[in-house]
Amino acid sequence: MPNLESVETRWIELFDELCRVHEIDRAQIAAPFLSVPATEARSLLYVGKATAKDWYRHDFCSQSPLVSNKESMKKRREQRRECTKTFLIKDAPDYNSGFWHFARELNTEAAKKWNQRVASPFQHVAWTNICKIGALKGNPRGFLLEKQREIAIETLRLEIDLYRPQLICFVTWDYAFDLVKEVIGDPSDASWNQKENKQWIWWRGATDRLPAILLTGHPERKSTKIRKTWLKRVRYLLPD
């Protein structure tokens, strides 16, 4: 399995490549996103589709060197990780969206389950996305999604291995679901409990290789009743 540093480097190199190809307008892609672990050892992995808007692209591109070497690449990786950390500390705690509201609810549920004080909004949440290079409008599809496919699978597997979450929560529903199936190694959907499909939720229990996994619709514009159904399942799936 590749190490985190090498995979992060490849994401930045892919961004540089995409900025040069004719099939895509370089002004319409976001700067690369890199995840960071939760601050608490016991955590859940919260997986979205991709970042919104340009993900602080100006800050990233203004620091990109004309000539890339090991030292400059290290600084670029560090800058991307710090961007994520800063967002989680300064912006996400008060971000008024369904995605971040649900992330805060997940953190509270995990803290309750593990008898922890809620010291911060995301102490038990490690946030990542299927695509680490977003689109300025909507989510990556077509060429942009396909260019990320293989490295996205590698990266999600690596994040699961490194962060060792107690639960994986995909809030992506059918977006890039073929990719998700490759990550978890179930091309047939046979391992999923689908009885609450009308509530936008599938789930599967832990195996000897992976923790329990929850798949839901995107939290935006979902009713409180539906989100409570999801959280009830979270309580059931989180280990003591």
Max intra-chain CA distance, the chain = 54
Measured in whole angstroms, the distance separating CA 14 from the mean position of its chain's CA atoms is: 18
DSSP classification of residue 193: B
* pLDDT for residue 67: 58
* pLDDT for residue 24: 76
User: Is the four-CA dihedral 218, 222, 225, 228 of positive or negative sign?
Assistant: positive
Structural domains of the chain ordered from first start: 4-237 (3.40.470.10)
**Strand segments (E) across the chain:** 44-48, 125-129, 167-170, 201-204, 212-216
**Whole-number Å distance between alpha carbons of 184 and 178:** 10
What is the identity of the amino acid at 147?
A: K
Residues in the chain where the model's pLDDT stays below 50: none
Half-sphere exposure of 90 toward its Cβ, with a 13 Å CA cutoff?
A: 6
Q: How many CB atoms lie within 10 A of CB 183?
A: 22
* pLDDT for residue 61: 85
pTM: 0.96
**Whole-number Å distance between alpha carbons of 99 and 221:** 10
